[in-house]
Structure 1
């Protein structure tokens, strides 16, 4: 698997952070860490709690990433289908899907 270049890592962080600011007010920050072809994305809530959201897999394009949700019940990332019906999509689509699933409990 290809490893994303530094410019793609920077672009990914900017895209996700900007999207989170405008779409997910429950998140005060995003934490993105990279390991090989993967980017792991955690969200920070107002009370300081960190929520594991998703893993993205780089396949050579900054516009389309593979998507895996984090499941707390198994403490694993599992490849998942986005609402678009695909296993890969934009980072913003992946963040929206993960946040819709993981943040709903925090809004109650």
Structure 2
């Protein structure tokens, strides 16, 4: 698997942060850490709590990433189909999917 260049890593963080600011006011910040071809994305809530959201897999394109949701029940990431119908999509689509599952509900 290819590893993303530094410019792609920086772009990914910028794109996810911009989407969070405009679409997910429940998030105070988005944190991205990289390991090989993977980018692990966590959301920081206003009270400082950090929530694991997803893992993205770099496949050679800065605009299309493989998508896996974090499953708290197993403490693992599971490849998941995005609402767009594919296992890969834009970082923004992936963030919307993960946040739609984890940040919406009667107590948030």
Q: TM-score range by the shorter chain?
A: over 0.9
What SS class does the counterpart of residue 29 from structure 2 fall into?
A: strand
The runs of at least 4 consecutive aligned structure 1 residues that moved more than 2 Å come to: 105-108
Q: Which residue of 1 aligns with 2:61?
A: 61
Matches of 1:106 and 1:25, distance apart in 2: 16
Matches of 2:4 and 2:100, distance apart in 1: 26
Matches of 2:106 and 2:21, distance apart in 1: 17
User: Number of residue pairs matched?
Assistant: 108
Matches of 2:36 and 2:70, distance apart in 1: 18
Q: TM-score, normalised by structure 2?
A: 0.97
Matches of 1:41 and 1:95, distance apart in 2: 9
Q: CA deviation at 1:105?
A: 4.0
Cα root mean square deviation, aligned? 1.0
Q: TM-score, normalised by structure 1?
A: 0.97
Q: CA deviation at 1:104?
A: 1.7
Unaligned runs of 5+ residues in structure 2 are none
Specify whether residues 32 and 105 from structure 1 end up closer, same or farther in structure 2 by C-alpha distance, changes over 3 A only: same
Specify whether residues 107 and 23 from structure 1 end up closer, same or farther in structure 2 by C-alpha distance, changes over 3 A only: farther
